[in-house]
């Protein structure tokens, strides 16, 4: 029986995230821990289901094991469906031209048969490395109102920041006349968020043509969008004014975690109307023991706190023993901070043990640099500020 | 070994309990994020029991709401899985008990392909392994094994209880139904293990003879005919029999050893319905000590010796001491609570002071604003 979906989302989750260094040694960037109990990919996935988009292709390539396992059948996001749901799409062997995903556009091109199954009106292209809450339905509504071929979500950034982004130069009605990748002298401050909505028929045509062009780098920003502009298609921006953060670097990942803290946080996760879903492990509630001091922090299930935690984000099953101090830190799952240890301004990957009285990093307010400890390490000696520890010291 | 699980909710006497007024004992919220049934369900699933009948009699709305499709326990299955078994008859129940329930579900039991069956109530808070119970069944060549624990009934505030008198080899020679409190006893945990066809024939016999009680009429009267053995459960165990025992049970979870046994026993996690709350936030100025706190809370005030469920807010200046605050309780500025149990969605407004004692715990009903 023929059935169709109104909109299919394609989530680009194959990136290595090399600027996250040791955090992405064995996981793809979208599977990196964020905000205590989440993975980065929970945000686009939850945005989809909250926007009633229930058919999502997740394109994986780099270190997909943990990501595949995490997504599983999509049940935590209500994406276990008979028709639709979450589907992992790795590169696959073909009769001719077997290849890895050669670029963002090529990754989608190789999966046109997946999209065809659903015969959608629209295809939404998302990436797995941004933290934000967004109702994609509003974007679809604007797209339809403009009778557009493609709509690109943009964020107003400062003029200084603009040279770090892909910038959309627009007419007063929001239609795009030019796209500039990281311009030295930006003409506009409308930065692309990497969220594209296409009419599927148009997308299919341009992806097919792009694949036939051997000189193309098969990239949405570099090839598909400029080609569509050249042909005079209708491309519009969709202005987004909420919180959005690219967590592609260690510093931005740390900052985005800090944005969750405080009474009126920059980014609020306690939002009953827009829940972020994640795969849950069966941990008991956290236990705060006598003598613990907690200040401006967020702590999740399974943690046992006896020491001091200040301005920090703790994931599942973190133990902070008596006299230990954790300050300005982002700590992933299953970390043990032993008695008297002091951890300041650091990202600690999962499974790390910081031995008794060891000092990791230094005070942020005194100009220290971010310290990073790779997963599974046992830290026996002090670690200087700014270190990226990847082997036991 | 293929085993069918039969869980009975609400066979316990519970009429006097305020927290079970609108819910079964199985769906009583405990420990910040659990319901009592989570322990029994998880224990079964962790032992590979994947076909479970959950027998309900009255007040089972909250239980169904909690279980949903049972996917949190991996029990949404084509083969086996969890089946809810609500009452079958139109007649108002005369004796709301296990035998009547068994009579009603006899077809479900007959049809189940499993060879063995575990019958259990759902008021237990423990992490019990059924594997050693089966070992007892085989080693003693027993027909039936009953799980018991050694209890000091003088400390216990619930009657009647079922106790076992055991021979030296562990065989049950007498099943007693105590109405009075009485010293050290072998207290039945209402967990029975046997072959499924034996259960079917026992229930068929009871139907023919028009019997009324599983314990009294069937088991107790046939201890000479069937080899019934006791298996002592030595782990941590608690149950809810009064508001005070409910409070104490929750406070037990502040004990790191009990917490470890219940929740951190390897390969034996306790599953529950996931609510997808954000992690809990501690705002500068909060003071938290000796408390267990679930996800989705915002803590600005003082919390001491308390169990805080998901989605609770404790605002600035508020003091919560020796309390159990269920899901979505809001404690507003400068309110002051000691020895209080709040049910779901309670709001305690600005500056309100509520003071109970350990002997006289104050209970605040669901949705109440104080």
Q: How far is B238 from chain A (nearest CA, A)?
A: 17
A292/B279 Cβ within 8 A? no
Question: Quick check: B284 and A296 CB within 8 A?
Answer: yes
Average pLDDT over residues B93-121: 83
Answer whether B165 touches A (CB < 8 Å).
Answer: no
- At residue B14, the pLDDT reads 53
Contact B292 A263 (CB under 8 A): no
- Residue B50: pLDDT above 70? yes
The secondary structure of chain A, three-state, reads CCCCCCEEEEEECCCCCHHHHHHHCCCCHHHCEECCCEECCHHHHHHHHHCCCCEEEEECCCCCHHHHHHHCCCHHHCCCCCCCEEEEECCCCCCCCCCCCCCHHHHHHHCHHHHHCCCCCEEEEEECCEEECCCHHHHHHHHHHCCCCEEEEEEECCCCHHHHCEEEEECCCCEEEEEEECCCCCCCCEEEEEEEEEEHHHHHHHHHHHHHCCCCCCCHHHHHHHHHHHCCCCEEEEEECCCEEECCCHHHHHHHHHCCCCCCCCCCCCCCCCCCCCCCCCCCCEEECCCCEEECEEECCCCEECCEEECCEECCCCEECCCCEEEEEEECCCCEECCCCEEEEEEECCCCEECCCCEECCCHHHCCCCEEECCCCEECCCECCCCEECCCC
What are A16-29's pLDDT values in tens digits?
Answer: 777 888 888 888 88
Q: pLDDT tens digits for A164-212? A: 888 999 999 999 999 988 889 999 999 999 999 999 999 999 999 999 9
Q: Specify the pLDDT at position B243.
A: 86
Q: What is the mean pLDDT of residues A237-260?
A: 94
Collect all residues of chain B within an 8 Å Cβ-Cβ radius of residue A300. Answer: 279-280, 295
B276 touches chain A (CB under 8 A): yes
Contact B278 A76 (CB under 8 A): no
Mean pLDDT value of segment B6-35: 77
Query: Is the pLDDT reported for residue B159 higher than 70?
Result: no
B300 touches chain A (CB under 8 A): yes
Per-residue confidence band for B93, with pLDDT thresholds at 50, 70 and 90 = low
Q: In chain A, what residues touch B292 (CB-CB under 8 Å)?
A: 284-288
Mutate to test the interface with B, among A46, A79, A257, A282 (most CBs of B within 10 A): A282
- In chain B, ranges of CATH 3.90.550.10 domains: 3-263
pLDDT in tens, A347-382: 999 999 999 999 999 999 998 999 999 999 999 999
pLDDT reported for residue A97: 76
pLDDT surpassing 70 at residue B10:
no
Q: Which of A283, A292, A301 sits opposite B288 (nearest CB)?
A: A292
Best probe of the A interface among B281, B287, B304, by most A CBs < 10 A, is B281
Contact (CB<8Å) B263/A263: no
Alpha carbons B303 and B324: distance in angstroms, whole number: 11
Closest-CA distance of chain A to residue B262, Å: 9
Tell me whether strands A286-288 and B330-331 are parallel, antiparallel or unpaired: unpaired
Give the pLDDT confidence score for residue B94 in this predicted structure.
52
Q: What confidence score (pLDDT) does residue B236 get?
A: 94
| A341-355, B285-299, B350-364: segment of lowest average pLDDT | B350-364
Q: Which residues of A touch B272 (CB under 8 A)?
A: 282
The yes-or-no verdict on residue B11 having pLDDT over 60 is no
Q: Give pLDDT tens digits for A117-144.
A: 999 999 999 998 899 999 999 999 999 9
A282/B271 touch (CB, cutoff 8 Å), yes or no: yes
Chain A interface includes B290 (CB < 8 A): yes
Would an 8 Å CB–CB cutoff place B271 in contact with chain A? yes
- Determine whether the interchain pair B295/A262 forms a contact, defined as Cβ–Cβ distance below 8 Å: no
- Which chain A residues touch B282 with a CB distance below 8 Å? 294-299, 309
Tell whether the model's pLDDT for residue B212 goes beyond 80: no
Question: Residue A2 is encoded by which pair of tokens?
Answer: 């023929």
What pLDDT, on a 0 to 100 scale, did the predictor assign at position B325? Answer: 96
Calculate how close chain A gets to B179, using CA atoms only, in Å.
37
Contact A277 B276 (CB under 8 A): yes
Output the average pLDDT for chain A.
92
Residues of chain A in contact with residue B42, where contact means CB-CB under 8 angstroms, are 282
Mark yes or no for CB contact A296/B298 under 8 Å: no
Is the CB of residue B315 less than 8 Å away from at least one CB of chain A?
Answer: no
Q: Which of B357, B77, B177, B291 is nearest to A288 (CA)?
A: B291
Given an 8 Å threshold on Cβ–Cβ distance, is B279 in contact with A36? Answer: yes
CB pairs under 8 A between A and B: 111
On the question of pLDDT at B314 being above 80, the answer is yes
Question: Residue B47 — φ and ψ, nearest 5°?
Answer: -100, 15
**Contact residues on chain A for B290, CB-CB shorter than 8 A:** 288-290
The residue among A50, A286, A289, A317 with the most chain B CBs within 10 A of its CB, best to mutate, is: A286
CB proximity B35 to A under 8 Å: no
Residues 6 or more apart in contact with residue B325 via CB below 8 angstroms: B306, B307, B308, B309, B312, B314, B331, B340, B342, B346
Q: What percent of chain B has pLDDT over 70?
A: 92
Instruction: Determine the CATH number of domain B281-364.
Output: 2.160.10.10
Which of B271, B280, B303 is facing A300, going by the closest CB pair?
B280
Residue A130: its pLDDT value, please? 94
- Paired strand residues for B24: none
Q: Where in chain B is the domain with CATH 2.160.10.10?
A: 281-364
Can the peptide bond before residue A80 be classed as cis, meaning omega within 30 degrees of 0? no
What average pLDDT does this structure show over B211-223?
A: 80
Instruction: Say whether domain B3-263 belongs to CATH 3.90.550.10.
Output: yes
pLDDT at B156: 54
B108-144 pLDDT per residue, tens: 999 999 999 999 988 889 999 999 999 999 999 999 9
What is the per-residue pLDDT for B328? Answer: 95
Q: Do B276 and A276 touch (CB under 8 A)?
A: yes
Which residues in chain A are closer than 8 Å to B308, comparing Cβ atoms?
Answer: 285
Contact yes or no for B279 and A298 at CB 8 A? yes
Confidence band of A65 (pLDDT split at 50, 70, 90): confident
In the predicted model, what is the mean pLDDT of residues B15-31?
78
Overall average pLDDT of the B333-349 stretch: 93
| Contact at CB, B283 and A263, closer than 8 angstroms | yes
Of the candidates A270, A290, A295, the beta carbon closest to that of B298 is on: A270
Hey, are the CB atoms on A301 and B270 less than 8 Å from each other?
Answer: no
Between chains, do A282 and B262 touch, taking CB under 8 Å as contact? no
Chain A residue set in contact with B, beta carbons under 8 Å: 35-37, 75-76, 261-263, 269-271, 275-278, 280-292, 294-301, 304, 309, 313-314
Check B279 against A289: CB less than 8 A apart. no
Measured between CA atoms, how close is B96 to chain A, in angstroms?
A: 34
Per-residue pLDDT tens over the stretch A73-130: 899 999 998 899 999 998 888 877 778 888 889 999 999 999 999 999 999 999 988 9
Q: What percent of chain A has pLDDT above 90?
A: 75
Mean pLDDT of B96-117: 86
């Amino acid at each position: 029986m023929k059935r169709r979906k109104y909109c299919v989302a394609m989530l680009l989750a194959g990136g290595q995230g090399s600027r996250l260094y040791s955090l992405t040694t064995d996981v793809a960037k979208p599977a990196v821990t964020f905000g205590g109990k989440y993975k980065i990919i929970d945000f686009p996935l939850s945005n989809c289901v909250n926007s009633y988009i229930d058919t999502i292709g997740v394109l994986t390539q780099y270190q997909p094991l943990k990501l595949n396992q995490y997504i599983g059948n999509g049940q935590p996001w209500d994406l276990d469906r008979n028709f639709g749901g979450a589907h992992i799409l790795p590169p696959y062997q073909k009769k001719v031209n077997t290849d890895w995903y050669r670029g963002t556009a090529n990754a989608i091109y190789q999966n046109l048969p997946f999209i065809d199954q659903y015969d959608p009106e629209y295809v939404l292209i998302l990436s797995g490395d941004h933290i934000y809450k967004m109702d994609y339905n509003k974007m679809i509504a604007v797209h339809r109102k403009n009778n557009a071929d493609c709509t690109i979500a943009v964020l107003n950034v400062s003029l200084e920041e603009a040279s770090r982004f892909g910038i959309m130069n627009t007419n007063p009605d929001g239609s795009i006349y030019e796209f500039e990748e990281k311009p030295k002298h930006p003409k506009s401050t409308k930065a692309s968020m990497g969220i594209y909505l296409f009419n599927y028929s148009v997308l299919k045509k341009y992806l097919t043509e792009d694949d036939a062009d051997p000189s193309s780098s098969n990239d949405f920003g570099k090839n598909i969008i400029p080609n569509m502009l050249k042909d005079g298609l209708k491309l519009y921006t969709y202005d987004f004014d909420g919180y959005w953060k690219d967590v592609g670097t260690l510093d931005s990942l740390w900052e985005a975690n800090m944005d969750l803290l405080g009474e009126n946080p920059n980014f609020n996760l306690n939002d009953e109307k827009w829940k972020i879903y994640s795969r849950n492990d069966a941990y008991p509630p956290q236990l705060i023991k006598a003598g613990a001091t907690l200040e401006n922090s967020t702590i999740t299930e399974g943690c046992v706190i006896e020491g001091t935690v200040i301005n920090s984000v703790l994931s599942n099953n973190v133990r902070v023993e008596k006299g230990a101090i954790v300050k300005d830190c982002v700590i992933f799952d299953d970390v043990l901070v032993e008695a008297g240890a002091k951890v300041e301004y650091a990202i600690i990957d999962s499974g790390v043990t910081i031995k008794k009285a060891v000092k990791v990093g230094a005070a942020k307010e005194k100009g220290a640099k971010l310290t990073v400890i790779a997963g599974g390490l046992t830290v026996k000696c002090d670690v200087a500020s700014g270190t990226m520890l990847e082997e036991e010291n | 070994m293929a085993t069918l699980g039969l869980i009975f909710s609400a066979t316990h006497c519970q009429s006097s309990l305020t927290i079970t007024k609108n819910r079964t004992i199985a769906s009583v919220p405990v420990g910040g994020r659990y319901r009592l049934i989570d322990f029994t369900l998880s224990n079964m699933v962790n032992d590979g029991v994947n076909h479970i009948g959950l027998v309900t009699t009255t007040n089972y709305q909250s239980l169904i709401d909690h279980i949903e499709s049972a996917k949190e326990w991996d029990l949404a299955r084509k083969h086996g899985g969890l089946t809810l078994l609500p009452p079958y008859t139109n007649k108002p129940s005369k004796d709301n008990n296990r035998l009547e329930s068994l009579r009603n579900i006899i077809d479900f039991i007959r049809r189940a392909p499993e060879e063995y069956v575990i019958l259990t109530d759902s008021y237990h808070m423990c992490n019990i392994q059924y594997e050693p119970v089966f070992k007892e069944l085989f080693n003693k060549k027993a027909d039936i094994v009953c799980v018991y624990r050694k209890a000091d009934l003088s400390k216990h505030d619930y009657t009647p209880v079922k106790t076992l008198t055991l021979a030296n080899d562990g065989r049950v020679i007498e099943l007693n139904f105590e109405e009075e409190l009485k010293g050290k006893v072998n207290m039945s945990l209402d967990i029975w293990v046997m072959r499924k066809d034996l259960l079917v024939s026992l229930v068929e016999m009871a139907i023919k003879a028009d019997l009324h009680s599983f314990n009294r009429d069937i088991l107790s009267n046939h201890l000479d005919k069937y080899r019934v053995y006791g298996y002592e459960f030595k782990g941590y165990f608690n149950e809810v029999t009064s508001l005070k025992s409910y409070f104490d049970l929750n406070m037990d979870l502040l004990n790191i050893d009990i917490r470890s046994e219940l929740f951190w026993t390897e390969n034996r996690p306790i599953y529950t319905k996931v609510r997808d709350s954000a992690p809990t936030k501690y705002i500068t100025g909060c003071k938290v000590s000796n408390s267990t706190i679930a996800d989705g809370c915002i803590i600005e005030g003082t919390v001491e010796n308390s169990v805080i469920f998901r989605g609770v807010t404790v605002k600035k200046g508020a003091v919560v001491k020796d309390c159990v605050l269920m899901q979505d309780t809001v404690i507003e500025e400068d309110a002051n609570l000691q020895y209080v149990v709040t049910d779901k969605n309670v709001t305690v407004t600005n500056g309100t002071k509520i003071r109970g004692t350990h002997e006289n715990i104050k209970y605040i009903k669901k949705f109440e604003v104080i």
